[in-house]
């Protein structure tokens, strides 16, 4: 028994060692950075220890709160649109009365945007959304839908919506596949019974599909929140890398990145990382609590 235990330790050793070196050590080092005014240059030993002053700055930093709100707004809009499309399509393709063909082809097609690298997507939309020369404005103008071109990436509302919608376009295929799998897992018996009882489409959707789908919806929600809070690449690459227009694309991680690597405020960047960590913990706790409560019931 004891021998087996030792052998087991040997097997988990590679993971534990890597985890300690690349995860635990940086986490503690980052905390130490957050208590200094380290600039990333000249060695941490020469940095000044400033106590909790970085944390005092964090809780009074309006740019941080703005970044938090931006992140939530973009993620929220993105999630609603993405789920509406994904759920709608999943229902359509799983409907026993419609019996749509070619599900596997559409599944692949819907997933395609997700395999394009974000850098390419950002460049693509940057060109499409260009004020005077972009295809979108040219199209809207020639259709007569607008009288003068809209400067999409110069308006905070449009820019945030653009990021949210691009995100939704990239991720609805992923959600669609998961939701479709979830719906396929629901027993047909329920629907047949409902049909016999005279339930219409809406009744079976709200009383059978949605309740049965809840665990899957929660899973999609949690993974989306975790990804959404880390929103960085698209907002960075779509405009000036500093969150233009007017700071509306300045997400939490982008703010952290710019503080640490653009302005060389490593200490404060580390503090922002801890701020982000605390927010992520709070959000995860809320979602886990919700999920736990469902299971008890």
Partner 1 sequence: MKKLLLLTVLSILFVLGACSSQEKADLVVTSFTDELQEPINKFEELHDVNVDLQIIPTENYTTTLRPALESGEGAPDVFTGEIVYLKDWIEQDYWANLSTDPYNVDAWEDDYMDYVWDLGKNSAGEVRAVSWQTTPGGIYYRRSIAEEVLGTDDPDEVGEMFSTMDGLMDVGEKMKEHNYRLFPDEGSIQPYTNGQDPQPWVNENNELVMTEARLSYFDYAKELRDKQYTALAPAWSPAWYESFVGPISYNVGWDELDEDAEDADKTEVFAVSLPTWGLNSVLKEEAEETSGDWAVTNGPTPYFQGGTWIGMYKDSENKDLAWEFIQMLVHDEEFLTEWVTETTGDVLSYLPVTTKISEDFSEEYLGGQNHYKFFLEEAQKIDASTITKYDQQIGELFGTEVGNYVEGNVTKEEALEEFYNQVENAFPEVTVPE
Instruction: Report the interface residues with partner 1, using CB under 8 A.
Output: 3, 7, 10, 40-43, 57, 61, 63, 126-127, 130-133, 137-138, 141, 147-149, 151, 154-155, 240, 242, 244-246, 258-259, 261-265, 268
| Shortest distance, position 114 Cβ to partner 1, whole Å | 24
| Shortest distance, position 213 Cβ to partner 1, whole Å | 43
| Shortest distance, position 154 Cβ to partner 1, whole Å | 5
What are residue 132's phi and psi, to 5 degrees?
Answer: -95, -20
Distances, alpha carbon 85 to alpha carbons 75, 113, 137, in Å:
15, 14, 24
| Shortest distance, position 218 Cβ to partner 1, whole Å | 37
**Of residues 54 and 175, the one with the C-beta less far from partner 1:** 54
Specify whether the CB–CB gap between 7 and 18 falls below 8 A. no
**Of residues 171 and 268, the one with the C-beta less far from partner 1:** 268
**Of residues 60 and 200, the one with the C-beta less far from partner 1:** 60
Q: Report the distance separating Cα 75 and Cα 24, nearest Å.
A: 29
**Of residues 157 and 210, the one with the C-beta less far from partner 1:** 157
- Cis before 245? omega within 30: yes
**Of residues 43 and 198, the one with the C-beta less far from partner 1:** 43
**Of residues 63 and 219, the one with the C-beta less far from partner 1:** 63
Specify whether the CB–CB gap between 106 and 90 falls below 8 A. no
| Shortest distance, position 161 Cβ to partner 1, whole Å | 16
Classify each residue of 191-207 as buried b or exposed e, where b means 16 or more C-beta atoms within 10 Å of its C-beta: beebeeeebeeeebeee
284 Cβ neighbours under 8 A, 6+ residues apart? 222, 225, 226
| Shortest distance, position 292 Cβ to partner 1, whole Å | 40
Q: How far apart, in Å, do the first and last CA atoms of the chain sit?
A: 40
């Amino acid at each position: 028994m004891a021998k087996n235990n030792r052998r087991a330790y040997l097997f988990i050793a590679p993971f534990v060692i890597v985890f300690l070196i690349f995860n635990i050590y940086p986490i503690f080092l980052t905390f130490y950075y957050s208590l200094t005014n380290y600039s990333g240059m000249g060695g941490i030993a020469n940095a000044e220890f400033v106590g909790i002053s970085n944390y005092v700055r964090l809780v009074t930093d309006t740019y941080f709160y703005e970044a938090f709100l931006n992140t939530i707004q973009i993620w929220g809009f993105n999630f609603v649109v993405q789920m509406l499309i994904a759920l709608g399509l999943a229902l359509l393709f799983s409907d026993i009365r419609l019996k749509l063909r070619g599900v596997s082809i559409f599944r692949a097609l819907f997933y395609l945007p997700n395999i394009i690298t974000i850098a390419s997507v950002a460049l693509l939309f940057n060109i499409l959304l260009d004020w005077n020369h972009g295809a979108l404005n040219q199209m809207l103008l020639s259709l007569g839908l607008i009288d003068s071109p809209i400067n999409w990436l110069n308006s905070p509302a449009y820019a945030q919506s653009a990021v949210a919608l691009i995100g939704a376009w990239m991720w609805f295929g992923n959600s669609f596949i998961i939701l479709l799998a979830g719906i396929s897992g629901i027993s047909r018996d329920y629907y047949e019974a409902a049909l016999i009882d005279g339930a219409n489409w809406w009744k079976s959707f709200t009383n059978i599909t949605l309740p049965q789908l809840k665990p899957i919806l929660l899973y999609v929600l949690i993974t989306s929140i975790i990804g959404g809070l880390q929103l960085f690449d698209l907002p960075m690459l779509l405009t000036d890398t500093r969150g233009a227009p007017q700071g509306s694309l300045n997400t939490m991680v982008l703010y952290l990145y710019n503080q640490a690597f653009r302005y060389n405020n490593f200490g404060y960047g580390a503090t922002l990382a801890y701020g982000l960590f605390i927010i992520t913990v709070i959000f995860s706790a809320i979602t886990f609590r919700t999920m736990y409560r469902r299971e008890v019931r």
